[in-house]
Structure 1
Amino acid sequence: MDLKKFVNALNPNYELPSRKTVSNTMLPATYEEENFMAVTAHFIDDNFKSHSALLDCVSYGENHTSINLASQLKLIIQEWNLEGKILMVISDNAANIKKAIKEELQLKHFGCYAHTINLIALDSLKHATKILDKVKSIVAFCKRITSGMAKLIDQQKQQGRDPKRLVQDVVTRWNSTYYMVDRFVELEEPIRTTMALLNKDFPVISLEEWNFLKELIHILEPLENVTKLMSAENYVTASMTIILTDGLLAVYKNMKELQFEDISKKIISIILDGLTNRLGNVEQSNSLVLTTFLDPRFKNVGFCNESIPEKAKKSVLSLLSTKISSQNKNSASTTTANTVSSSSTYQPESESKETTTKCSVWGNFEKRVASL
């Protein structure tokens, strides 16, 4: 007995929800009802090797007030005996969690860089909703209907391609939209042929819209590159924040001077405004300045403001002197001298050999390295 017959036997008046209702309404609603708080610790061991560890992931049913969030975080901190050992807390940019960390727990907070980029990208993509809805509709059909995907794969084989599948985007992940559009444009010819053969009522994508989709990939690529870099777990990312922000600003300022469709120009302007307003002047953050200065890849080459490296050097020397004096006053002056020499003579190697392009987020940094 199948499910329909079973349900009908229980209650003939009950109508099972359709696949569309389950996919588009019921599952998303259930997902929204589930709330979790995950806390991950990032630390360096005695051998200066970085580690990450999930401390807790708890189902969270209370109101998401800053007090409640702070209370839950405090329990986790106490459970792991981390009082007084936390240098900085990274979270998304929601006002409640920021207040919980900064005001309730009195801890230093920094908004997740990748999440900020995600918000900027999502804001810009709102102006491409019409064409993106067309793409999503075609992708959804091919993903849902077996014959549609089979035709698409067959067309790719006939054209001598290694067959690839279309990519469906996820609402909360802007870069999934980038991947969807990138694959869609890559398969433009087999998609056009498949749509004609299936003879379905597909949305019409004009030549101008295809051109825009190609421009959109070009526009979003720098954001995607930075998102990948800043989402890594196997290396320190904070020290790249200043350099990548400067690089993104330079890239999108250059893009404003290029020939694009009007809608593309609008998206570029929104991204540029978002970078300026949401990130601000990252060189004003003492923590980010110090992490960049102490990163052997960047040191005093990683800043736009020429006065920052000297200030960072003085700050590092002051911190070192204080630390050394508390341990061994006699060795303070010798160690400090060695630090000054190391900071002022280091020059990056591999970065200076790479080709600088207008779309490289490392462009400004590479120019500074090349000028040394």
Structure 2
Amino acid sequence: MACTERSNIVSKIKAIVTWFKQSCIASEEFRKATTAETKLIQSVPKRWNITYYMIQRFLELRSFINDILFRHVNAPSMLSGSDIAIVSSVLLILRPLELATKEICGDKYCTTSKIIPLVHCIFSNITSVAVKEPVAKEVQKLVLQEMTKRMGPIEHVTTH
């Protein structure tokens, strides 16, 4: 249930962003309502961080988006309040991963000395996020499980 609900919310956001990208009238209204540099971000398959940025930008601009969607009968439906709460919580959970990705990708040469502190910070930050929504709790649990599976033993690696 949680995976399906999470996917549905992301699909709704993608549909709204796509509608704005395809509608000249809506795009123009959006451009006038926001600053010229502010644009919606379209996610790309297989790039989790672009989906993260799409959701983040969507949440930042949701009041403008909602106003424009409301004025157009052929527009997709806006997210519900509970959907907004879920994606807001999911972003809090994914934020440490996004920051770590930026840290690693920002260096010309990522040294292994960064890995253990980054993994520790990711675990600590994700664990400390207090979420209420069952879907967000499930995301938190899955992220921690995957981190443990992939990175848990990293602190126990010894050199010979």
Q: Same fold (TM over 0.5)?
A: yes
Q: 1:244 to 1:130 in 2, by over 3 A?
A: same
Alignment partner, residue 146 of structure 2: 274
Confirm or deny that 1:285 pairs with 2:157: yes
Question: Which amino acid letter does the alignment assign opposite residue 29 of structure 2?
Answer: K
Paired residue for 1:212, among 80, 83, 86?
86
Question: Any stretches of 5+ residues in structure 1 without a counterpart?
Answer: 1-123, 288-314, 316-372
Q: TM-score, normalised by structure 1?
A: 0.40
2-side partners of 1:286 and 1:232: how far apart? 27
For the aligned residues, what is the CA RMSD? Answer: 2.1
Alignment partner, residue 264 of structure 1: 136
Larger Rg: 1 or 2? 1
Secondary structure of 1:180's counterpart equals helix
Per residue, is there more strand in 1 or in 2? 1
Per residue, is there more helix in 1 or in 2? 2
Alignment partner, residue 227 of structure 1: 101
The answer to whether the Cα contact below 8 Å between 1:136 and 1:168 also exists between their aligned partners in 2 is yes
> In the TM superposition, what is the alpha-carbon distance from 1:125 to its structure 2 partner?
7.0
Alignment partner, residue 153 of structure 1: 31
Q: Which runs of 4+ in 1 moved over 3 A?
A: 124-127
Higher RCO structure, 1 or 2 (CA under 8 Å, sep 6+): 2
Alignment partner, residue 199 of structure 1: 73
Alignment partner, residue 142 of structure 1: 20
Q: TM-score, normalised by structure 2?
A: 0.89
The answer to whether the Cα contact below 8 Å between 1:155 and 1:193 also exists between their aligned partners in 2 is no
2-side partners of 1:198 and 1:163: how far apart? 24
> In the TM superposition, what is the alpha-carbon distance from 1:254 to its structure 2 partner?
1.5
Q: Aligned ranges for residues 35-114 of structure 1 at < 5 Å? A: none
> In the TM superposition, what is the alpha-carbon distance from 1:148 to its structure 2 partner?
1.8
1:205-241 deviation digits (Å, cap 9, x = unpaired): 1111112222222221111000111123424332111
> In the TM superposition, what is the alpha-carbon distance from 1:246 to its structure 2 partner?
1.1
> In the TM superposition, what is the alpha-carbon distance from 1:138 to its structure 2 partner?
0.5
Identity of aligned residues (%): 26
Question: Which amino acid letter does the alignment assign opposite residue 9 of structure 2?
Answer: I
The total of aligned residue pairs comes to 159
> In the TM superposition, what is the alpha-carbon distance from 1:259 to its structure 2 partner?
3.7
2-side partners of 1:250 and 1:129: how far apart? 26
2-side partners of 1:136 and 1:126: how far apart? 15
Q: 1:239 to 1:126 in 2, by over 3 A?
A: farther
Q: Aligned ranges for residues 289-304 of structure 1 at < 5 Å? A: none
Paired residue for 1:130, among 8, 15, 30?
8
